[in-house]
Each structure stands twice: as C-alpha cells, then as structure tokens.
C-alpha cells in the first residue's frame, strides 16, 4: 500500500483508520467513518449521538498550539453538545494507564464544544518496512476509556 498511516487520505492511512475503527468497536464503542475523505473516525461511547464524541486520528509526534504529542499516537479530541454532566466528568477525568487526558480551554468548535484530548501512544510490530500497528495492545486502554466515557452517555 502507498502513503503513510498518518495521511488519512492515503491507502495506508485509510487501512489504518479501518483497523482503528475495529479496535474501538471491539472495546464497546460505536465507531463509524462515513466518507473516504474523512481523516478521522466518529466514535461514541455507546451509540450514535450519545456524547461525548471522539474524533480519533493517527498522528506523528508534534507540538502545536493545541497539543504536544511526543511519539506516534492516536489523538482523540473529545466533544459534546454542551452537556454539563460531560463537562463535570471530564473535569475529574481519572488516570487511565496507557493514555493521557489533556483538558482544553472550553471552546466551541462548530456546533460542538471541545473539552480536551485523549492521547494513546502507538505500539508497532515488525521490521521498519513491514511494520504495523499493534491495535490489540490498545484493547485494555480502549475498554477502560469506554467504561469511563459511557458514564456520561447515560
């Protein structure tokens, strides 16, 4: 396949997003990707339109005004429709081993409110030319995240 896993529009990026979608679904999330032109997923803790909404994407290490990512990771911005319960839940977000949560200054992003970012470092299997993401290694992290976020989706 051509392209990079970090280029959501490339064949490799599309394949990586499809595999990431399966990992979220196996952890109990509702996950979808509607268009080939999307470079992230739409993920809900339990079912569609039950917030918080996550938009996970694969990123290289980076440092920008929004977030510092020190290694290749899945970065999940967390959005809601302004629900106060979700705001309180995320204000007291517990530590989950294998991921980190970074609160964002509350701001409106289109019709959604951005609350923060969950970052899950990637693990890889294989040699550099045939390397692939170890999505199975993310299962415990995603299951713990789903359990925590589903508390707000009730």
**DSSP secondary structure, 101-131, as one string:** EEEEEEEEETTEEEEEEEEEE--EES-TTT-
* pLDDT for residue 37: 67
Domain-embedded: residue 4:
no
Distance of CA 69 to the CA centre of its chain: 13
The C-alpha atoms of residue 39 and residue 10 are separated, in whole angstroms, by 9
Above 70 in pLDDT, residue 34? no
Considering its fold, how many domains does the chain have in total? 1
Mean pLDDT of the region 4-13? 86
Structure tokens at 70: 């020190």
Domain-embedded: residue 24:
yes
Domain-embedded: residue 37:
yes
pLDDT of 76-119, one tens digit each? 999 998 878 888 888 888 999 999 999 987 777 778 899 999 99
* Residue 126 CB coordination number (10 Å): 10
pLDDT of 14-32, one tens digit each? 899 999 999 999 999 999 8
Domain-embedded: residue 86:
yes
Domain-embedded: residue 6:
no
- φ, ψ for residue 145, nearest 5 deg: -65, -45
* pLDDT for residue 35: 67
Domain-embedded: residue 93:
yes
What is the share, in percent, of the chain residues with pLDDT greater than 70? 95
Domain-embedded: residue 2:
no
Range of the domain at 126: 11-150
* pLDDT for residue 62: 80
Domain-embedded: residue 3:
no
pTM beyond 0.95, yes or no: no
Residues 6+ apart with CB under 8 A from 50: 30, 44, 153
């Amino acid at each position: 396949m051509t392209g990079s896993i970090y280029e959501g529009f490339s064949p490799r990026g599309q394949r990586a997003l499809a595999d990431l979608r399966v990992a979220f679904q196996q952890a109990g999330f509702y996950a979808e990707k509607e268009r080939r032109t999307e470079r992230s997923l739409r993920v809900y803790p339990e079912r569609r339109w039950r917030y918080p909404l996550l938009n996970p994407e694969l990123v290289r290490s980076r440092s920008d005004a929004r977030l510092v990512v020190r290694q290749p990771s899945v970065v999940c911005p967390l959005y809601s429709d302004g629900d106060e319960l979700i705001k309180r839940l995320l204000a007291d977000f517990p530590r989950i081993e294998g991921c980190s949560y970074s609160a964002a200054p509350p701001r409106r992003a289109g019709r959604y409110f951005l609350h923060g970012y969950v970052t899950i470092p990637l693990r890889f299997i294989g040699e550099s030319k045939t390397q692939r993401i170890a999505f199975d290694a993310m299962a415990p992290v995603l299951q713990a995240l789903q359990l925590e976020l589903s508390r707000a989706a009730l």
